[in-house]
Structure 1
C-alpha cells in the first residue's frame, strides 16, 4: 500500500504538478432550445434551466447520470447553486487514485459565461479550493484536465478577450462540442493549455465520450490511445462507423 501511495505521488507530481490533489473540472452548458443556436430537441430535455431532465446532465447519457453508473468512480457530494450561473455541482472520486472530478451544470442561457469560465480555468486562473468532508480539492484553474461539454457557443458569438497562461503548470483540455477545434483553436493557444481531445465536425456531446478521456488521462495513456478509445465509444453509441468517428475527434494541434 505504501508503494502504491508513493507511486501515485510521483505520478501526479511529476507530470501534473501536484500530488493527491489532482483534479478534473467539467463544465456542462445545459442544452437549451430557447437560448442556443441548436437543432431543437424535445422540450423536456431542452430546457436549459432544468438540470434534472436536461439532455446533457440528467438524461441517460447526461454527465450526472452516466458518471454515477461508472464503477471506477465514487459519487461524493451534490452541491446546489455553488456559484452564479451554475445550478448544480457534483463531485466524484476515482476509487483507485483518489483523483477528484468536479462537474458543474451551467444555466443554458449563460453560454458566454460558461465558455469564459472554461477559458479562465484553461489558462490557470480562477483557482478554487473546495472543502469536502476531510479533503480539500483544488479545482478551477488548479485542475489538470478541464472539459467543456455542450453546444459550441463560439458559433454564435466571439469572446471579448481570452486570458493568457497564468503559470507553468501543464493543463489538458477536452472540448465536446460541434467543430470545437476550428472554433476554439486560437483561444486555446492563448491559454497555453494542451488540447487532449476536440472535434472537427458536428457531434452529440454526451457523456460516453467523456469517460474514456477522464480514465485515460488518469492512467496517463498516450493521446493516440485516448483518441481511439473516444472514437470507439462514439461509434458504439452513435453507430456512425469507426472511420467517421476517428475523423470526428482530434488530439493535439
Structure 2
C-alpha cells in the first residue's frame, strides 16, 4: 500500500511538472559604453551594474517590475551565476497559473552573447516561451542565423527597436513562433512583457498579446492606445 501511494505521488508530481510552462527571459543590460544607443544617464546606462540599470533595476526594469507584481512571486535570486557575463538570475513563479519564469541580467558589453543564448534557449525545446529584452544587437553587428531547428514548440518575444524587421525571418526559419515583435523605435520596459504574459498563459492568440502590449505601452508612454498598439507587429495567429 505504501509503495502504491509513493508511486501515485511520483506520477502526480511528474504530470504537474509536465504541465508547468517554462519562460526564459534574457535581458541585455543597457550600456552607454558599448552599445549603439541614444545615450541615457550614466547611472542607468552602466551595463556592469544591474541594480541601477534601465532594463533591470529601474522601476520599469525586469527585476523591479516583476518583484512589485501581484501576479508573480520571487522564488530565488542568484548573483553567483557561474558565468561572469550573467550578473544576476531571478526565478519567479506565477501566483495562479502553472508557470515559472527565469530571467537573466547579462552584462551590457556581452549583448551579442546574450542574444545568441536566447536563441539557443528557443531551439532547446526546454522552454515554452523565450523573451529577449534590450538594445537591437543586429543594428550593431551581424549574427549568423541558427543552424538548427527548434526541438519543440517554442514561442518568442523580442522587445527591442524594430525587432520585426530584424528578427522575424530568422526565428520563423528556425521553427520558432514569434508572438510579439516591434515595428519602430521603442522603449522595451518590462511592463510590456508582464502584461503580454497574462493572455499567453490563458492560451490566447497573438492578437490578444498585441492588444495587451499596446495597452501597457500606452499607459507608460501616455499616448493613445491605437498609436501604442502600432508599435507592435501584426503577426499570424
1:198 aligns with 2:198: no
CA distance in 1, matches of 2:175, 2:109: 28
Q: Distance in 2 between matches of 1:145 and 1:174?
A: 8
Contact 2:122 2:150 survives alignment (8 Å): no
Aligned-pair distance for 1:160? 3.1
Q: What is the distance in 1 between the residues matched to 2:137 and 2:150?
A: 24
The alpha-carbon deviation at position 121 of structure 1 amounts to 1.3
Q: CA RMSD in A?
A: 1.7
Shift of 1:64: 0.3
Q: Which residue in 2 is equivalent to 1:216? A: 199
8 A contact 2:197–2:209 mirrored in 1:
no
| Separation of aligned partners in 1, 2:113 and 2:26 | 11
Taking structure 2 as the reference length, what is the TM-score of the superposition? 0.89
> Which blocks of at least 5 consecutive residues in structure 2 are unaligned?
1-11
Instruction: Pick from 212, 217, 223 the counterpart of residue 240 of structure 1.
Output: 223
- Which whole-Å CA distance do the structure 2 matches of 1:166 and 1:220 have between them? 20
Question: 2:75 maps to what in 1?
Answer: 76
CA drift at 1:156: 0.6
Distance apart, 1:251 and its partner CA: 4.3
Structure 1 segment 179-198 matched on structure 2, within 5 A: 179-198=162-181
User: What is the 5 A alignment of 1:106-145?
Assistant: 106-124=106-124, 141-145=125-129
- The structure that has the greater radius of gyration is 2
Tell me how far apart the structure 1 counterparts of residues 158 and 227 of structure 2 sit (CA, whole Å): 18
Residue 200 of structure 1: how far off its partner (Å): 0.6
The structure that is helix-richer by fraction is 2
SS in structure 1 opposite 2:26?
strand
- The aligned counterpart of 2:4 is none
Matched, 1:250 2:233: yes
2:149 is the counterpart of 1:150: no
Is there any run of 5+ residues in structure 1 with no aligned partner, and where? 1-5, 13-17, 125-140
Alignment of 1:30-49 (within 5 A): 30-49=29-48
Structure with a larger share of its residues in strand: 1
| 1:225 to partner: Cα distance | 1.3
1:15-65 Cα shifts (integer Å, max 9, x gaps): xxx724321000000000001000000000000000010000001110000
**Number of residue pairs aligned between Structure 1 and Structure 2:** 222
Which of 144, 155, 171 aligns to 2:154? It is 171
Conserved 8 A contact 2:43-2:53: yes
Q: Which runs of 4+ in 1 moved over 2 A?
A: 18-21
Give the Å deviation of 1:214.
1.7
TM-score by length of 1: 0.83
The equivalent of 1:133 in structure 2 is none
